[in-house]
A and B are shown apart, each in its own frame.
Chain A
Amino acid sequence: MQRTIIRELERLLGSSGVLSSPEDLLLYEYDGSVEEAGPDAIVFPRRKQDVVEIVKLANRYDLSIVGRGAGTGLSGGALAREGGIVLAFSRMNHILEIDAENQRAVVEPGVVNLDLSRAAEKYGLYFAPDPSSQKSCTIGGNVSENSGGPHTLAYGVTSNHVTGLEVVMPDAKVIRLGGRAMETPGYDLTGLMIGSEGTFALVTEVTVRLLRLPEDVRTLLAIYDSLGDATDSVVDITARGIIPAACEMLDGWTLRAVEAYVHAGFPLDSAAVLLMEVEGVREAAETQADEIIEVCRRHNAREVRRARDARERALLWKGRKEAFGAVGRVSPSYYVLDGVIPRTKLTPTLLRIEEIAKRYGFVIGNIFHAGDGNLHPLILFDHRDRDQFRRARAAGAEIMQLCVEMGGTLTGEHGVGMEKNELMPLMFTETDLDLMRKVRAAFNPVGRLNPGKVLPLGKGCGETRLQPFPQSAGGNA
């Protein structure tokens, strides 16, 4: 990047607020995904006005801007696919206000998800969206990806917990969307902004709603000798109108990888475990727990355990929340997918995934938010082997295609980013995509923000776009 631009940025932010050396650029080439792409500079604003000035400068020099939270994203969202400036929010990480009485908080976008819940804890409150990455990922990232977590089943995703946003538009105008109440008149622009993966505007402040910590929580672990029995239990539980706060499944391969590390007590010879949680006032939680145990038993659960105390509960959840990482102990890399299917199709889908695994010669572990049919198949491979990498992506594309075939979607919570943008035509017609382009253009007309993400790049014939990852595998975008 030209020295003059760097100097201007430094004048705005101080020299500690700008990185541009080759050594530093290399460290913003990656995030939590398998994608890679590097920026030309990274800047660290400390306040809204800094963001405004950076955007003005980017406009003057015609540079792309990509927002970055903690870089835990799993679809390459925070990577500067076309170079330009990465705007890292790690220093805008202050909780501006916790209004305990009205169960609200106002935060800067770089606040870490778990730090917010910890700060709210002393008022008996918490921020409900709990992605498994919550100890590092930021609220800004959560808003941009509309992140969910195990407790999404009962409490919904980020958009259900954000009432207002302050954003800086690509033309450097500051806009406030929504407010302190859940509903505001007019179009729901807040809703539109949430999940836009940093392609509409830069989020500089978030107003969230906080929930009361439940009076009682019951955590159950059901252990199965067959995966089918486990999935049938999930279908049956929800069919009875029981909505657990969370309902997570780990298959045999994954639970063994996790157990080796967490020692949560998952039996190594089982085929699947279901981790479930019910919450509420004491009696209600108790009745629901009993009902669930009854259903699991009917579906041949070998055993159903109850966490006896907070410690056991934490241990079981550690097993689930750190499951991706535990896989890192076994394999140099993994490629995590994020498909959604109707709950009732769980069993046939898993069989088909197993078939794909065999055909490609990969181990594929399965972890999923079973309650809402959000699958996270993990393809294990070695990224140093280019051929394996290519095949892993091809296998991934087949699985995503399968999810769509089963009546589901390409992504539940990890976003489209630069990983799945070329697969969007699997789900959407050209008319749908055109409408999306128009919506994006209303916010971000010249593609200043996060270019090359979410929507397919090429406008070739539908046929080529259906080929899994022609761009990335070929090495030119």
Chain B
Amino acid sequence: MSHVSPATGALESASPVHRESGFHGPDRPKDVDYLHCIHCGLCLNQCPTYRLWGLEADSPRGRIRQMVLVDEGRLPLGDSFVRHIDQCLDCRACETACPAGVEYGKLVEAARAQIEQNYRRPFSSRIARSLVYRHLLPYPRRIAAVARLVRLYQNSGLKTAARQSGLLRLFGLADREKLMPPVEQVFFFSRLGQTFPAQGQRRARVALFAGCISQVSFAALHEATIRVLTANGCEVVVPEGQLCCGALAAHAGVRDIARQLARANLDVFLREGFDAVITNAAGCGSTLKEYDQLFSADDPAHRKALEFRRKMRDATEFLDSLGLTAPMRELRVHVTYQDSCHLAHGQKIREAPRRLIRAVPGVELTEMRLSDNCCGSAGVYNVTQTQTSLELLAEKMQCAAETGAEAIVTANPGCLLQMRAGSEIHKTGQQVLHVMELLDRALRDVPASATSRL
């Protein structure tokens, strides 16, 4: 049994003994960042994992404390630390809640960089991580090749066979399989290098950021985004040579790859003087806007990143400030809006998408409870922490269903996927749309389908 710990026991005993930090190298949580945390606890109830489990270790305050303890040499950079940092969604709801301005996202990415460098994961996990982050996402051709294989599986009888045979359930994969991105028939890669002229008077010239997985799974969303932008007077360029934004790598602590991708993208997008660089993926957007955090101040890329940040806009943010000019037909539909974490918490954008939704004639918007609580998608979280992800999804679908809306509108491809799976799993019958898709449907002159009115 541990002895009495008097009021200041920890401080008294900690300070004279100089322990060695468990962190090594420059990519580490820095005291200038974590010292802002005054352990007030105001972030606890905003944290999805704390709400699920009620554990300090899985709360923002507890995770920050664990970083401090590792840095002070009081906690090993071992299994326990890694588990709790892995279980973090990196949703950054804690940043919104924190009055002290703690930049948690920055801290957790640095902690993950430390884990990546100093902690040996089990063999299978090392292989999988290396394959995905180092050998797949940075290479468009490989993404396309893998996507074709997956498509083959999804289109062939295999998928149905696997589902029907109960084989997937046997391997605990039934729900996980639903969370897999569907591969579209036409990839977006062919659009790279193309320019789409503005309709009517040109009001802006913008570059579209196309992403990695999005190019094979969300080509249709990209096309919709281009239609909405051009209809509203934007010339849209899809610059060639652009790569994955590096968000997934950065979130996983694979900083070297994230840096490599960032450098390439900075070169591509700063080559021409666009009025803005647009993304329809909130998750990518918040990393793109924070490229500066990947580089030390004396690296030339740092200055470029700051310049780039001034250009970088979420599609909803950009259209909201530009103002919609294209005529829209009436959509008699009742929707609710889900705040994508990296839009609401990462980029502090909440009103722009709501204003765009309300701008569509006939659309009724009902707010859902906890609209800015994570849906469980969180990058690759739904694959790495499937159980937790599904629990969060269940709550999200419940909140969405309570509104009685026919459709859930959101602003990030990952959330779309997750909630489409949710709608299927929980049989809520709600459609899930990106804000750009909603606007696009209002633009297109096709008659509304009888059932969906969308």
Contact = CB atoms under 8 A, between A and B. Distances in A.
Given A328-B99, A475-B12, A81 B38 contact: no
B40 A133 contact: yes
Given A27-B57, A328-B38, 19 more contacts: A25-B2, A26-B69, A26-B74, A29-B10, A32-B39, A32-B41, A36-B11, A37-B9, A71-B56, A76-B7, A80-B5, A81-B5, A90-B55, A136-B45, A325-B101, A326-B100, A418-B7, A475-B6, A477-B7
Interface in B407-433: none
B8 interface: yes
B56 A326 contact: no
B6 A476 contact: yes
Contacts of A112: 45
Interface stretch (A189-197, A347-355, A382-390): A382-390
A383 B10 CA distance: 11
Contacts of B381: none
A82 B4 CA distance: 5
B352 interface: no
Given A24-B80, A328-B100, A136 B42 contact: yes
Interface in A131-168: 133, 135-137
A38 B2 contact: yes
B393 interface: no
Given A30-B39, A81-B6, A91 B57 contact: no
B81 interface: yes
A471 B41 CA distance: 27
B42 A329 contact: no
Interface in A13-44: 19, 21, 23-32, 35-38, 40, 44
25 contacts: A23-B66, A24-B57, A26-B74, A27-B57, A32-B40, A36-B7, A38-B2, A40-B1, A44-B54, A83-B5, A114-B45, A136-B46, A324-B99, A325-B40, A325-B99, A326-B101, A328-B38, A329-B36, A386-B15, A389-B8, A389-B11, A418-B7, A472-B6, A472-B8, A475-B9
A70 B50 CA distance: 11
A31 B97 CA distance: 17
B75 interface: yes
Nearest to B54: A90
Q: Chain A's interface: helix, strand, loop or mixed, by majority?
A: loop
Complex A-B, nearest 3 residue pairs according to Cβ-Cβ distance, in ascending order: A325-B99, A90-B54, A328-B100
Contacts, number: 161
Contacts of A133: 40-42
A224 interface: no
Interface string A445-477: 000000000000000000000000101110111
Nearest to B40: A32
A7 to B, nearest CB: 15
A103 interface: no
Contact of A325 (B6, B10, B38): B38
A76 B46 CA distance: 23
A317 interface: no
A360 interface: no
A22 B44 CA distance: 22
A1 interface: yes
A130 interface: no
A383 B11 contact: yes
Contacts of B11: 36, 383, 386, 389
B35 interface: yes
Contacts of B245: none
Nearest to A83: B2
Contacts of B39: 30-32
Q: How large is the interface on A (under 10, 10 to 19, 20 to 34, 35 or more residues)?
A: 35 or more
B7 A471 contact: yes
A115 interface: yes
Interface residues of B, number: 45
B38 A333 contact: yes
Nearest to B370: A118
A334 interface: yes
Contacts of A202: none
Contact of A328 (B37, B65, B75): B37
Given A328-B40, A389-B8, A27 B46 contact: no
Nearest to A110: B54
A374 interface: no
B443 interface: no
A386 B10 CA distance: 11
A70 B51 CA distance: 11
A93 B45 CA distance: 11
A92 to B, nearest CB: 9
Contact of B41 (A28, A36, A71): A71
Given A36-B11, A81-B5, A418-B7, A261 B99 contact: yes
Nearest to B15: A386
Interface string B49-78: 010001111000010011001000011001
Given A261-B101, A329-B101, A31 B41 contact: yes
A36 B2 contact: no
B2 A40 contact: yes
Contacts of B271: none
B53 to A, nearest CB: 8
B6 to A, nearest CB: 4
Contacts of B45: 70, 112, 114-115, 135-136
A333 to B, nearest CB: 7
Contacts of A76: 7
Contacts of A40: 1-2
Nearest to A33: B39
A325 to B, nearest CB: 2
Contacts of B98: 325
B306 interface: no
Contact of B1 (A83, A110, A324, A332): A83
A223 B254 CA distance: 50
Interface in B89-123: 97-102
B150 interface: no
B18 interface: no
A88 interface: yes
Nearest to A390: B8
A429 interface: no
Nearest to B63: A27
B29 to A, nearest CB: 15
**For B2, B7, B100, which residue has the most chain A Cβ atoms within 10 angstroms?**
B7
A323 B38 CA distance: 12
A328 B101 contact: yes
B374 to A, nearest CB: 17
Contacts of A419: 7
